[in-house]
Structure 1
Amino acid sequence: MPRRFTPVEEIIDARAHAWLDTVPADSIRSKFIEFLVFGAKQAWACVFGAALLAVILAARLWYPEDAALARNDALTLAAIAIQILMVVFKLETLRELRVIILFHIVGTGMELFKTDVGSWMYEADGILRLGSVPLFSGFMYAAVGSYMVRVYRLFDLRFARYPRLWVTAILATAIYLNFFTHHFIWDFRWVLLAAVAVIYARTVMHFRFFRKTFRMPLLLAFTLVAFFIWLAENIATWAGAWAYPDQVDGWQLVSASKLVSWFLLMIISVVLVTWVYPPREPDVPALESERPERDAIPDGI
């Protein structure tokens, strides 16, 4: 069983519980704190992506046009620094770093192909690049991976009726291949979307962040994450990190059709994360209900 928290998170958790455990259960104050803890944990899970997005915005607003170091190279060096700091300060484990690196490789492979066929484009500056793809682009996929592995730990995710792993692996492979093949043959994304709906229809995600365990259909969780990535994508394209063909003559909202792409990407992401954290069944509800209120508080907020 992997540790739920890194050493830094254990310190934060212990100090938080010193205060939170004194709050009466089922009070309005308790419910408000549950809401705050949920938001705080989501923000903590997003720390890599938030830091990278902040750097991209800062580069758009303040990076000198005549700087000796190209902006894309500066973004790459900043992304490398963020990743190193995440590990050095124990915000990510080395176990998690493996899957984040895999996200990086998978994402960079897609970037090389997609820019070659003109799906989107980057500014042609800097030397830290592979072809027309600046190396910082892979870190944007790594940011998604970082969020996925961290949210798994922080919310102690469990899954009822999770599909067989070999089925999800085949589905994820088909989705990844379709991102390439749809440029040459029929686009199977709607077939794949239907397959996702069928395979994950009965799966329910259980998560906790203070005293209670909550449930959510996994398909809804995929949709919500895809939506927030789409929002971040709009911010990044406004900041000039990359541009879609319809944004070359002036920025506009990223097409809502990209929500489907991000939704399907969630399947690839989840399958990669199961390599590090195999899905676990939720605790038996009857056993949870038999515990005293004090004991029902999980080992971590």
Structure 2
Amino acid sequence: MKYAKLFIIFVYHQAMSCIFPVSIFLTLAISKLVQISYLPRYDFILISCLVIQWLMLKSGLESRDELKVIAVFHLIGLALELYKVNIGSWSYPEEAHTKIFGVPLYSGFMYASVASYMCQSWRRLNLRLIYWPNRMLVWSLGGLIYLNFYTNFILPDIRWFLIIFMFILFYRTRVLYTLMNKVFYMPIVLSFLFIGFFIWIAENISTFLGAWQYPNQSNYWQLVHFSKITSWFLLVVISFLIVSELKYVKRQLKS
């Protein structure tokens, strides 16, 4: 009975941490079913994302510091989208007023939703890290991963070398989280994999709802290739590193 209660509490906190990502999915679903005259779908999604963020901030579900982190991720994601769309990795086929070089501005919120989940989980579960590696090595890994997202179109893709490096770097690192005053832990690499897998599932839902489109989905929807899990896995690594570093900087400023 005790473990069932712990599981329910864990699921509750995870669900509350996913409010922003789930809200985006609902927006995608609604925008696919309901069309508003003179308001392109992508513009409607952008307006909805902005309203959701405002509501979360005003209701106290999200703090100002968390909003700043989300804004950083929005810009990072938007920069990556601009590059990937313009080399043909995927596309946004619908018209919109808020598109820049083929990329709708709402796309950055897809990355920001990952940051929102991490920030919410960190606060709700009182996350702590043990055996964190050398910060210079951590930032070197994050920089190489992000750079590889840009260079793998013209240079050899080194994602598997980066994954091996990541396993070596974080093999001892654990994430501690608290439920009912009881502390649990999980290997951080396992948490990266879980989050990456669920983002891949979310990506399939998003492409089915027409949020964006891969070249092989131009005629009809197909399952996103399993190889994309490694991309999301590495993106989760970058996301976690940025969030953890911002948390570290905040602690340093307070001390």
* TM-score, scaled relative to structure 1: 0.80
Query: What is the rounded CA distance, in whole Å, between the counterparts of 2:179 and 2:38 in structure 1?
Result: 47
How many Å apart are 1:175 and its aligned residue?
A: 0.4
Alignment match, 2:209: 239
Alpha-carbon displacement from aligned partner over 1:194-230 (angstroms, at most 9, x marks no partner)? 1111101111111112242111111100000001111
Pick from 48, 51, 57 the counterpart of residue 78 of structure 1: 48
Determine the C-alpha separation between the residues in 2 that align with 1:261 and 1:193: 10
Richer in helix (by share)? 2
**5+ residue gaps in structure 1?**
1-27, 280-301
1:158 deviates by 1.4
State the Cα distance separating 1:33 from its structure 2 match.
1.4
Equivalence for 1:47: 19
1:226 to 180, 196, 205: 196
- Residue number in structure 2 paired with 1:136: 106
Residues of 1 paired with 2:246 and 2:140: CA distance?
Answer: 18
SS in 1 for 2:248: coil
**Separation in structure 2 between the aligned mates of residue 83 and residue 164 of structure 1, nearest angstrom:** 34
1:175-198 per-residue CA deviation (whole Å, 9 max, x = no partner) reads: 001000011111111111111111
SS of 1:216's equivalent in the other structure is strand
Match of 1:9 in 2: none
Partner of 1:206: 176
Inter-partner Cα distance in structure 1 for 2:26 and 2:217: 21
Q: Is residue 232 of structure 2 the alignment partner of residue 266 of structure 1? A: no
Corresponding position of 1:33: 5
Structure 2 unaligned spans of 5+: 250-255
Among residues 136, 143, 146, which one is paired with 1:166 in the alignment?
136
**Match of 1:278, SS?**
helix
Moved more, 266-275 or 105-114: 266-275
Aligned residues: 249
Task: Give the C-alpha shift of residue 274 in structure 1.
Answer: 1.5
* DSSP 3-state at the match of 1:187: coil
Find the counterpart in structure 2 of residue 290 from structure 1: none
- Alignment counterpart, residue 117 of structure 1, candidates 87, 96, 107: 87
Does structure 2 conserve the Cα–Cα contact (< 8 Å) formed by 1:63 and 1:71? no
Q: CA RMSD in A?
A: 1.3
What is the CA–CA distance in structure 2 between the aligned matches of 1:249 and 1:243, rounded to whole Å?
10
Q: 1:136, 1:94 → 2: CA distance? A: 20
TM-score (norm 2): 0.95
- Identity %, equivalent residues: 38
